[in-house]
Amino acid sequence: MCRSIKTLRPPAQPEEATEEEMRAAALQYVRKVSGFRAPAEHNREVFERAVDAIAAATADLLDGLEVRGSARATAPAHT
């Protein structure tokens, strides 16, 4: 599907994904699904809300993943 979206989790990416990287991936996804590279003014708000929601879901996903063999998987959980 979105070939320009890169994997944001270790070990594919050595450090944690930045907010900017997550937002860029979300933007690519919304562009692909909507079929619009840039929304018309009357669609801008819903387009941006979708990007925000997908970026937040991406952050939640990456924060919750446990990757076997990574330093993150062996680090103690925050309490």
Domain count, the chain: 1
Peptide bond into 11 cis (omega under 30): yes
Greatest Cα pair distance in the chain? 48
Instruction: Give per-residue pLDDT as tens, 4-39.
Output: 677 888 777 778 889 999 999 999 999 999 999 999
Closest CA to 30 of 18, 19, 46: 46
Instruction: Give per-residue pLDDT as tens, 37-75.
Output: 999 999 999 999 999 999 999 999 999 988 777 665 445
Classify residue 3: in a domain, yes or no.
no
Classify residue 79: in a domain, yes or no.
no
Classify residue 11: in a domain, yes or no.
no
Q: Enter the tokens of residue 15.
A: 């450090």
Peptide bond into 76 cis (omega under 30): no
Domain boundaries, position 27: 19-64
Please tell me the number of Cα atoms within 13 Å of 23 on its side-chain side: 7
pTM, 2 dp: 0.76
